[in-house]
A and B are shown apart, each in its own frame.
Chain A
Amino acid sequence: MDNEMITAPETEEAVAPAPAPVEDDSKQYSPIRYAFGAVLAFFGISSKTHRASKKRAKLVGDIVTYIVLLFGAFLMVYPFWWMLAGSFAFTNTTEGQGSLQSLIWWPEYSTFTAEAVGPFYNYSETFSRGMTKALVSILSDKMSYWRAVLNNLIYSIVPVVVGVITSASAAFSFAKIQWIGRNVVFFFLLAAVMVPGPAIMSTQLAMYTDLQMVDNWSVMVVPGLFGSIMTAFFIRQFLFGMPTSIIEAAKIDGAGYFRIFCGFVLPLSMPAIMAQGLLSFMGCWNNYMGSFIFIDPGSEWINLPHAMYLMNNAYSVNNHLGPVIASSVLCVLPVLILFGCFQKLIIGSLMLTGSKE
């Protein structure tokens, strides 16, 4: 290992010749400085006395990088571990009251140690009584936790599946069909992204009330069915990279546009469609604003984040937050599993966005 250290030849020259001017005397390296340089070189840093080898510099740099990245990754992941551990804290009794506050790795008083309740007490509490307790204050008992989960599934699967297809069809039209004014229409649509959501949300509430879409499923589903502009934009970008000759060949063989779209464009742009669909699924699953604005908490059509919000309001009164954290885990887990399965696709799509911009 030590052989990798290279003593720079010019330093030896500087040490060896005796008749040197006064200025050079000051340049003579003391043993301490020399040793210090050696140590630095061992850690891959070149100094005046020693030049570190490239190999060593790379090794040390890699180790430092790993330490930094691992530390960052720990910070990123720790709150999720905390969430998982916290969901096993038993906060219902006075003994367990502070166990969420003092939790670092594992709760002092967990549902595993608490007798008379099963290890998954918080989860069963969430499923069985969570919503009943949450809805007492607003005098409604229409909901169960499973209903909120079901609603959330409807709100995130239906609009995403249909919406991605409509977005893809629009993208196909903009990228591959030569019609008059398509660029004008495209930029007209793209300009809609500039309109900030909060600026029009109260007007949208008035509009949806007028259409009787408020307080039921339609307000969370219908707007999504028409597709989203950003999704269309990314799929369009993807389609520009697809050779037009395929479409022309199909046209010569007598396929109509609808046939071309279903038979060629959809299968060929599947990676982009899947990635965009997954991203918007996650967005819809985590969408709290829509439900907060348009759906009354007393209605049975609230989604999962809204149900969690109501549960938190009910349970935080007694500082009995175990079930709330358990429901947080249940809300985060499906998305994390989905992301874990398709991470390559999603990250690849996001990278493509980054390199395009």
Chain B
Amino acid sequence: MEENITAVAEEPTVVEDSAAVVETTEEVVPPKKKRKPINQAKLQDNIWGWVFCIPLIVGTVWFVYSALIMAVLLSFTRFSIGTGTESLMEYLGNYSSHIATTRPIVGETEDGLLIMGEAYSDPFVWYKQIFTQTGNMGAVDAAGNPIMMNVMGAYLFNTVFYMIGIPIGMVLSMFFAVCMSRDIKGGNLFRVLYYVPCVASTIAVVYTFKLLFDAQGVINSLFGSDLNWLGDHLTWNKVSGGNSQAVFMCTEYWCQGIIQKSVVVIMSVWKGLGGTIILYVAGLSGVNAATKEAAQIDGASGWTIFWKVTMPDLYPVIFYNIVTSVIGGMQIYAEPVLFWPDDKSLTTISNTSGYVSLIWKNGLTPPSEGGNTMPSAGAAYGMFLAIIIFFMTLFQFWLDSRKKD
């Protein structure tokens, strides 16, 4: 390495010398320019290569990357749609005047007096809000005061709760995939039937499940239960019959809406099963048959073969599936919100909505619904989500690399 560095360092002087030499000789005899003829075919390749992929590049840069950069920039400001006189581009053009500066505020009191003051716009105001904002989660403590807790924490808890569906779905779909890859007639038909929920519209499916899980609905009459699936705010005290107000056990929080959430888990497992099954069936058909047969001849049982031969071969498919489902699971929004419409108030905690609801509440609630469309706040919440997802993915890849060593 050191040699390389010295070589690089020495090079410029050499080049300068030679340049000087060339300059002096040029006056005497102008050297013939020996330019390499351009390879026409290669030129064509380079031009047409760009031409063919330019639409995709333009689309990606325009709708994803520029939006991402603008989101990062906006998250340090207080841009809101429709209230200011500046458009987004003008606003970003004057970016320096919108971030971390003191600027005068002009306002009128009831007496008609003009008040001048100075406000410091804090660039991290939204990021601070993510961590500090507390909300009422609709429960009261023993003294009758509403229990307050961190809004982001509660919503993130809901999101993570919904991820229970990922392992359940994986085990179930592995089970069904193994069943399907026996050589039976009609395996294809089953594959198609199981994939049907994946192509159906989420909103139609949610409205159906809403009625299936109704208090007088099919599920209850089938199992003879009288659970109020969609409306029960189950608390720890209701489960245990106790009267605990201990912060950890009860909190009115860990168990709140647990049945409601489980309906969403059931629905997302049901809806996502088919896609995973197809991935696994494809993976299972690629498992080395010779190794399997060898193991069979050596007297391994079916169970052992599955764990020692099939699973290691399936590992890449499973890993891919985990990574994509965790990324998708972090972004859950529509399912719970279509079941139970979200409260638009920022300080009301929903028992069911996922983290993306906060982006929605802060950044996208239109003025007609009593909100303020504040892309800056939404962008800050979104950046936090992106960072969480990025590190979760990174962590999974780290685990993956550690396993291989």
Chain A residues engaging chain B, CB cutoff 8 angstroms: 61-62, 65-66, 68-69, 72-73, 75-77, 79-80, 82-83, 86, 98, 100-104, 138, 166-167, 169-170, 172-174, 177-180, 182, 185, 189, 192, 194-207, 209-210, 223, 225-227, 229, 232, 256-258, 261, 282, 285-286, 288-289, 293, 296, 305, 308-309, 312, 321, 324-325, 328-329, 331-332, 335-336, 339-340, 343, 346-347, 350-355, 357
Contacting pair A350 B375 (CB below 8 A): no
Determine the residue in chain B with the shortest Cβ distance to A214.
B81
Q: Decide if the interface of chain B is mainly helix, strand, loop or mixed.
A: helix
Spell out B's residues near A (CB within 8 Å): 42, 44-46, 48-53, 55-60, 62-68, 70-71, 74, 79, 81, 87-89, 176, 179-180, 182, 184, 188, 190-197, 199-205, 207-209, 211-212, 214-218, 221-222, 270, 273-275, 278-283, 285-286, 316-317, 320, 327, 330-331, 333-334, 338, 356, 359, 362-364, 366, 368, 373-375, 377-379, 382-383, 385-386, 389-390, 393
On chain B, the residues within 8 Å of A305 by CB distance are 201-204
Q: Tell whether, in the assembled complex, residue B52 and residue A76 are in contact, meaning their CB atoms are under 8 Å apart.
A: no
A201 touches B316 (CB 8 A): no
In the assembled complex, which residues on chain A have CB atoms less than 8 Å from the CB atom of B385?
Answer: 196, 198-199
Whether B338 and A309, one on each chain, are in contact in the complex, defined by CB atoms closer than 8 angstroms, is yes
Contacts A65-B184, A202-B379, A205-B375 given; does A336 touch B45 at CB 8 Å: no
A198 is contacted by which of B68, B184, B382 (Cβ under 8 Å)?
B382
Q: Say whether, besides A200-B67, A202-B378, A79 and B205 are in contact (CB < 8 Å).
A: yes
Contact A207–B70 (Cβ < 8 Å): yes
Q: In the complex, A77→B270 CA distance in Å? A: 10
Known contacts A77-B193, A170-B56; 17 further A-B pairs (Cβ under 8 A): A75-B270, A79-B205, A83-B208, A170-B55, A178-B49, A199-B382, A200-B71, A200-B379, A202-B373, A205-B81, A206-B88, A285-B201, A305-B204, A325-B208, A340-B192, A352-B282, A355-B283
B53-A169 in contact (CB<8A): yes
A76 partner residues in chain B, CB cutoff 8 A: 193-194, 196-197, 270, 273-274
Q: Give every chain B residue within 8 A of A102 (Cβ-Cβ).
A: 216, 221
Contact of B64 among A101, A195, A288, A357 (CB under 8 A): A195
CB <8 Å contact, A195 and B59 = no
A22, B3: Cα distance in complex, Å: 83
B193 touches A73 (CB 8 A): yes
Complex CA gap A202/B53 in Å reads: 28
**Can you name the residue of chain A whose Cβ is closest to the Cβ of B65?**
A192
Complex: chain A residue closest to B363, CB-CB = A202
Residues on A with beta carbons closer than 8 Å to the beta carbon of B386 = 195-196, 199
Give the chain A neighbours of B366 by CB distance below 8 A. 296
Contact B278 A207 (CB under 8 A): no
- In the complex, the chain A residue whose C-beta lies closest to that of B72 is A203
| B363→A201 contact, CB < 8 A | yes
Given contacts A203-B74, A354-B280, contact A194 B317 (CB under 8 A): no
**A182 x B49 contact (CB < 8 A):** yes
Docked Cα-Cα span, A68 to B316, in Å, equals 27
CB A172 to nearest CB in B, in angstroms, measures: 6
Contact B375 A203 (CB under 8 A): yes
Q: Sample 27 A-B pairs with CB under 8 A, ordered by A number.
A: A69-B180, A79-B212, A82-B208, A101-B214, A101-B215, A166-B59, A167-B56, A182-B53, A196-B327, A196-B382, A199-B71, A200-B382, A202-B373, A205-B364, A207-B66, A209-B88, A210-B88, A210-B89, A226-B55, A229-B56, A296-B368, A328-B207, A328-B208, A335-B199, A339-B195, A350-B279, A351-B282
Cα distance, A61 to B45, chains bound together (Å): 58
Q: How far is the CA of A223 from the CA of B366 in the complex (A)?
A: 22
Residue among B199, B221, B317, B373 making CB contact with A336, cutoff 8 Å: B199
Q: With A68-B179, A325-B208 in contact, do A206 and B375 touch (Cβ < 8 Å)?
A: yes
- Say yes or no: A69 contacts B176, CB within 8 Å: yes
Task: Name the B residues within 8 Å of A225 (CB-CB).
Answer: 55, 59
Complex: how many Å from CA A182 to CA B53?
10
Residues of A within 8 A of B188 (CB): 347
The 8 Å CB contact of A189, one of B56, B88, B196, B368, is B56
- A203 in contact with B70 (CB, 8 Å): yes
Inter-chain contacts of A195 with B (CB < 8 A): 64-65, 68, 386
Nearest Cβ distance between residue B299 and chain A, in whole angstroms? Answer: 13
Residues of A within 8 A of B201 (CB): 285-286, 288, 305, 328, 331-332, 335
Q: Given A226-B55, A335-B200, A355-B286, is A202 in contact with B359 using a C-beta cutoff of 8 Å?
A: yes
| Whole-angstrom distance between the Cβ of A51 and the nearest chain B Cβ | 14
CB distance from A244 to the nearest CB of B (A): 13
Q: How far is the CA of A282 from the CA of B211 in the complex (A)?
A: 24
Q: Which residue of A lies closest to B69 (CB)?
A: A203
Q: Decide: A73 and B190 in contact? CB cutoff 8 A.
A: yes
B316–A104 CB distance below 8 A: no
Given contacts A104-B218, A199-B71, A199-B382, contact A331 B48 (CB under 8 A): no
Minimum CB–CB distance for A170 against chain B, Å: 4
CB pair B199 A196 closer than 8 Å: no
Contact for B317 among A286, A289, A354, CB less than 8 A: A354
Alpha-carbon distance between A206 and B48 when the two chains are bound, in angstroms: 35
The closest CB in chain A to the CB of B197 belongs to A76
- In whole angstroms, what is the CA distance A62 to B57 when docked? 51
- Select which of A66, A138, A351 is within 8 A of B281 by beta carbon: A351
The answer to whether A357 and B52 have CB atoms under 8 Å apart is no
Interface centre among A198, A285, A324, A339 (most CB of B within 10 A): A198
Please tell me if the beta carbons of A226 and B60 are within 8 angstroms of each other in the complex. yes
Tell me the complex Cα distance, A196–B68, Å.
Answer: 10
Q: How far is the CA of A179 from the CA of B44 in the complex (A)?
A: 9
Contact of B364 among A72, A261, A293 (CB under 8 A): A293
A177–B364 contact, CB under 8 A?
no
Considering the chains assembled together, what is the distance between the CA atoms of A185 and B49 in angstroms?
11
Pairwise interchain contact A69-B190, C-beta atoms closer than 8 A: yes
Known A-B contacts A62-B184, A196-B327, A343-B192; A185 and B199 likewise in contact (beta carbons under 8 Å): no
Interface pair B207/A325, CB less than 8 Å apart: yes
Contacts of B279 in A (CB 8 A): 350, 353-354, 357
A198 touches B331 (CB 8 A): yes
B56 and A309 contacting across the interface, CB-CB below 8 Å: no
Establish whether residues A178 and B45, one from each chain, have CB atoms under 8 Å apart when the complex forms. Answer: yes
B residues less than 8 Å from A339 (CB atoms)? 192, 195-196, 199
Contact assessment for B56 and A227 in the assembled complex, using a CB-CB cutoff below 8 Å = yes
Cα–Cα, bound, A112→B331 (Å): 43
Please name all residues of chain A whose beta carbon is closer than 8 Å to the beta carbon of B359 when the two chains form the complex. Answer: 198-199, 201-202
Is the Cβ of A204 less than 8 Å from the Cβ of B63? yes
A332 to B316 alpha-carbon distance, docked (Å)? 33
